[in-house]
Structure 1
């Protein structure tokens, strides 16, 4: 049987190996630059980068609270964002989460054309 993370509805594996984090969730330099241009501040940049890397792996946006802390911490370190910056969105009062969804989808369409 196929591994759960490789099925039609992939999910995060229960244990993320450091090699898997490095291979799948490390932002590329052009992705880091795109996130810097697309956001103001470290918290939105962290959120956007985490959403981008998760979407690239799962091909959908999971609930924010289901994203493993190991993924967030790895992206934070790779993007050189301080440990005090917390990951999360306030969807009730801010449209930032939905703007980030649209930006990630737009980036995917742009890279699919090139």
Structure 2
């Protein structure tokens, strides 16, 4: 029987993410790292873009940023060699970057909204 994370209309993150799942599902590929570097000049937007990309690939939608497990963010951060001082998140009040990142991820993956 399928787990609740897989059966919902919008899949959810499991309560515990195994290391092998993080490595298999959330490790950015070299071409994805290069795409993020070309798309954003600084580490914070690169981290946000890569996390959104990997999450969208697994979930097939953009969940709220608060629902993304810290383990996913930290795994992507380590894989991209982005330091721990770089904060994950988007300031939607001051910048439309989050919505540009949504559009960039969809374009990169060839997904229409």
Q: Under a length normalisation based on structure 1, what TM-score does the superposition of the two structures give?
A: 0.93
Aligned counterparts of 1:18 and 1:38: Cα–Cα separation in 2? 28
Q: After TM superposition, what 4+ stretches of structure 1 lie above 6 angstroms from structure 2?
A: none
CA deviation string 1:7-62 (max 9, x = no partner): 23210000000000000000000000000000010000000000000000000000
Counting only pairs closer than 5 Å after superposition, residues 64-75 of structure 1 correspond to structure 2 as 64-75=65-76
Q: How many residues align?
A: 110
Q: Which residue of 2 aligns with 1:76?
A: 77
Q: Which residue of 1 aligns with 2:24?
A: 23
Q: Which residue of 2 aligns with 1:2?
A: 2
CA deviation string 1:59-97 (max 9, x = no partner): 000000110000000000000000110100100110100
Q: Which residue of 2 aligns with 1:39?
A: 40
Q: Under a length normalisation based on structure 2, what TM-score does the superposition of the two structures give?
A: 0.94
The two structures, once aligned, show a CA RMSD in angstroms of 1.0
> Structure 2: any 5+ residue segments left out of the alignment?
none
> Structure 1: any 5+ residue segments left out of the alignment?
none
